[in-house]
Chain A
């Protein structure tokens, strides 16, 4: 394990994330993990890591980092105008850095979350089987908190292989804010008008949105019928609390609840959802499980190019 990067400026919210702790939901612990799993996986695969290795998840405005030891990094996800020593640096490819180099991510030009992988994989506090930062419990990652100035980031031993690149036509653009959904278990509890409103209206990600979930502004959704007995929730669930303002559950979601779930965003669209920022507009579109699996397969195929 080597100290490879030191934080000069932390950015708005930069956390260490891997693929989370799905087993911990039985104790009520949010599963966590990278919000955009495609960008996270791609960053890791580009530098020769296992796709489950930990990366830095940068939110809205990125960090400024100084290199302590020679390393190879990859920057993926939203375009935060990455620069090395002030010069524009390419994304979705390996970048070799020398001690003293400065890697800086700025404000977002598109998307909401950028990922930085380091060859060898970032090494940090492991809690319940995962290095993901759990902000709610203050565990995992960098001592359970977002990065601050002066933090030192360590990485494991890199594999000796040339870095790869994700071809331009396989890189996501984050321009289309359509989230494909499948009807949820409680869709029948929506009134006829509200059901139509889910698909005919645009919703805006509100400012009280975070890694737990996005509160959506738009038409209020009216549900009727008995209360639902509390049940296990998954990321992507569109939950309608009393009051009718829907919440899209994201990576750090509450693990159970009793509000109706009227739709579920498909796995391939969760990477799109992860790149939405407060103020962004989105639309829901109905799809089928077969179509969802086809979109999922296309994403997996894109990542396969990085492993073969």
Chain B
């Protein structure tokens, strides 16, 4: 049987006159994210592209409009994306120690109608994927979170979340690398440093990496 031809539906939107957003899908899906990361890597090699960053299911491309038009770059993106997705090398695996004493753990488990023990068991089971590194230095959107742990974000975001806070919202989890405002539910904390300003790249996590949480005593 010949290899199945891959025909993704891609939507390309301008982001002003020097950037565009290529949407590969609308679901949080490892296969789509893998293709987004591969597409960003391929686009970065082009001389007319200044920067290409994969989102959860998209690629944001900044380009030089003196060298290429929106239309030409959009067509090139569709061509690149219609190629068979490359075999992904498994991302680096990070094992992250977590103390589960977050200020929202009780409220979260009450809303989910489960014990903290049960929450920790379900939460620490999967190997999460770093879908996207960004927002603030060192932050990674990790997922997918098991469905039974899904909650909307807090109605009142905190003005200051301590660095190292382990948090959940929607189908995602993440670790606050710096003390910043935040609207996610804080379930624990870790001592691992995610923003490494003296290294290049300065983030512990890269897109496509894998993350496993394990419990440590307070």
Please report A residues at the B interface, Cβ cutoff 8 Å: 22-30, 127-128, 136-137, 139, 181-185, 226-227, 229-234, 236-237, 254-257, 261, 264-268, 289, 292-293, 296, 300
| B1-31 near A? 1/0 per residue, CB < 8 Å | 0000000000001111111010100111000
Q: In the complex, what's the smallest C-beta–C-beta distance from A53 to chain B, in angstroms?
A: 19
Give the residues in chain B near A289, CB-CB below 8 Å.
14, 17, 70
> B215 an interface residue at 8 Å Cβ cutoff?
no
Query: Quick check: B201 and A182 within 8 Å, CB to CB?
Result: no
What are the 8 A-B residue pairs with the smallest beta carbon separation, nearest first? A232-B60, A231-B55, A256-B134, A264-B16, A185-B13, A27-B203, A292-B17, A232-B53
A242, B17: Cα distance in complex, Å: 26
A145, B192: Cα distance in complex, Å: 26
A35, B195: Cα distance in complex, Å: 25
Known contacts A229-B26, A229-B56, A234-B62: A27-B17 contact under CB 8 Å: no
Query: Quick check: A264 and B14 within 8 Å, CB to CB?
Result: yes
Contact of B51 among A25, A136, A185 (CB under 8 A): A25
Query: Quick check: B135 and A254 within 8 Å, CB to CB?
Result: yes
Besides A28-B133, A127-B197, 15 more A-B contacts (Cβ < 8 Å) are A26-B53, A184-B13, A229-B27, A229-B55, A229-B57, A230-B55, A234-B60, A254-B134, A256-B53, A257-B135, A265-B16, A266-B16, A267-B17, A267-B65, A300-B66
> B170 an interface residue at 8 Å Cβ cutoff?
yes
Query: Quick check: A139 and B56 within 8 Å, CB to CB?
Result: no
Contact of B134 among A184, A232, A266, A300 (CB under 8 A): A232
Query: Quick check: B138 and A27 within 8 Å, CB to CB?
Result: yes
Give the residues in chain A near B206, CB-CB below 8 Å.
26
> B141 an interface residue at 8 Å Cβ cutoff?
yes
Q: Which secondary structure characterizes the binding site on chain B?
A: loop
A237, B197: Cα distance in complex, Å: 26
Query: Quick check: A22 and B15 within 8 Å, CB to CB?
Result: no
Query: Quick check: B16 and A292 within 8 Å, CB to CB?
Result: yes
Q: In the complex, what's the smallest C-beta–C-beta distance from A223 to chain B, in angstroms?
A: 16
Q: In the complex, what's the smallest C-beta–C-beta distance from B41 to chain A, in angstroms?
A: 10
Contact of B58 among A30, A231, A266, A293 (CB under 8 A): A231
Q: What are 6 residue pairs bridging A and B, where the CB atoms are less than 8 Å apart in the complex? A: A181-B16, A183-B14, A185-B23, A229-B58, A296-B65, A300-B66
Give the residues in chain A near B27, CB-CB below 8 Å.
229
> B50 an interface residue at 8 Å Cβ cutoff?
yes
Q: In the complex, what's the smallest C-beta–C-beta distance from B22 to chain A, in angstroms?
A: 10
Give the residues in chain A near B57, CB-CB below 8 Å.
229, 231
Contact of B202 among A27, A237, A261 (CB under 8 A): A27
Contact of A255 among B134, B170, B195 (CB under 8 A): B134
Give the A-B pair count, Cβ closer than 8 A.
Answer: 138
B interface bracket (residues with beta carbon within 8 Å of A) = 35 or more
Q: In the complex, what's the smallest C-beta–C-beta distance from A78 to chain B, in angstroms?
A: 23
> B137 an interface residue at 8 Å Cβ cutoff?
yes
Q: In the complex, what's the smallest C-beta–C-beta distance from B11 to chain A, in angstroms?
A: 8
A289, B206: Cα distance in complex, Å: 33
Which of A230, A261, A264, A300 has its CB near the most chain B CB atoms (within 10 A)?
A: A230
Give the residues in chain A near B23, CB-CB below 8 Å.
185
| B56-78 near A? 1/0 per residue, CB < 8 Å | 11111010011000100000000
Give the residues in chain B near A139, CB-CB below 8 Å.
197
Shortest Cβ distance from B70 into A: residue: A289
Interface residues of B in 120-177 (CB under 8 A from A): 131-139, 141, 170, 177
Shortest Cβ distance from B201 into A: residue: A27
Known contacts A26-B207, A233-B60: A184-B15 contact under CB 8 Å: yes
A185, B200: Cα distance in complex, Å: 32
Give the residues in chain B near A296, CB-CB below 8 Å.
17, 65
Query: Quick check: A293 and B17 within 8 Å, CB to CB?
Result: yes
Query: Quick check: A26 and B201 within 8 Å, CB to CB?
Result: yes
A256, B205: Cα distance in complex, Å: 15
A305, B15: Cα distance in complex, Å: 29
Query: Quick check: B21 and A185 within 8 Å, CB to CB?
Result: yes
A237, B18: Cα distance in complex, Å: 12
Q: In the complex, what's the smallest C-beta–C-beta distance from A271 to chain B, in angstroms?
A: 13
Query: Quick check: B55 and A28 within 8 Å, CB to CB?
Result: no
Known contacts A185-B21, A229-B56, A232-B60: A264-B203 contact under CB 8 Å: no
Interface residues of B in 85-126 (CB under 8 A from A): none
Give the residues in chain A near B135, CB-CB below 8 Å.
28, 230, 254-257
Give the residues in chain B near A28, CB-CB below 8 Å.
133-139, 177, 195, 203
Give the residues in chain A near B133, CB-CB below 8 Å.
26-28
Known contacts A136-B136, A236-B16, A257-B135: A231-B21 contact under CB 8 Å: yes
